[in-house]
Structure 1
Amino acid sequence: NGYGPTENTTFSATFAMHRDTVVDGPVPIGRPLSNSTAYVLDAHLRPVPVGVAGEVYVGGQGLAWGYLHRPDLTAERFVPHPFASTPGERLYRTGDKARWREDGTLDFLGRVDFQVKVRGFRIELGEIEAALRAFPGVNEAVVVARGADTDKRLIGYV
């Protein structure tokens, strides 16, 4: 099982499964690759204990430098590495919620924001809700993603 955002050369962590692998519950997203780092941090960029949920931050040799022509988004998502030994090193805030397991693997728990993936595209539900609220006569709007991963659809309620 491979995990990782595009901003870190696609894969940051893996969990090896074999024919006889038994997993009780969701499949872990694994351990960081040898040239990657992964941290589960709280809102103050402090590591959380094993079993406690936090946001996943990734880094390492494959980490991008930022977003082209988007210094605002780069500053928001690529943060100074709080434990770096090299000046200027960064971590990427994935927006994913996870926890460390006792065996040193990561459990994916969802998102810390309202972003969803539909057919491989990242979608901010709040942006769609704002567009729906812009229509005359619409006071409130909520958008949710429903269905299986291969046939996920967005549904808007106004």
Structure 2
Amino acid sequence: MPPKKDNDDRTYEVRSICRKRIHKGKLQYMIKWTGWEDVSNTWETSESLEHVRDYVNEFDDSIKSRIIENLKKRNKEKASSSRPFTANRSSRFSKEEEESKEKEDKKEEKEEKQEETKDDKDDSDYHVNVKVSPGVNGGVQIKTNPN
């Protein structure tokens, strides 16, 4: 059993250290007290736990070992799944459906290109002449002539 903590002429026995945090810049540990429910757990500063320093160090070491273990596990998973993800399209569509979809896509692309070319051609059907007439204060005449 861990040593006891004295407060106001009462003695409380530390059952275990549950968690660790930094609160308002101070390191704190959540203490589970012997004979008390979990709702009575309290956050205690590192300084107030000097009498249970061995248990605090043991708790810190267990956290470090879990972190290292998890990092090793993640690195193994990362290394084993280094191939990029590729979807298995054949499971969603039959080969015929896939080929017809590709044909439709190509047809749509071709139609879009034709429309763009037509728009460009329509724009080139007109010549725009801009003339500034002398004697008119900045007047501009614009004449459009279809080809």
Do both proteins adopt the same fold according to a TM-score greater than 0.5, normalized to the shorter chain?
no
Higher relative contact order (CA 8 A, sep 6+): 1
Q: Which has the higher strand share?
A: 1
Question: Structure 1-normalised TM-score?
Answer: 0.20
Report which of the two structures shows the higher radius of gyration computed on alpha carbons.
Answer: 2
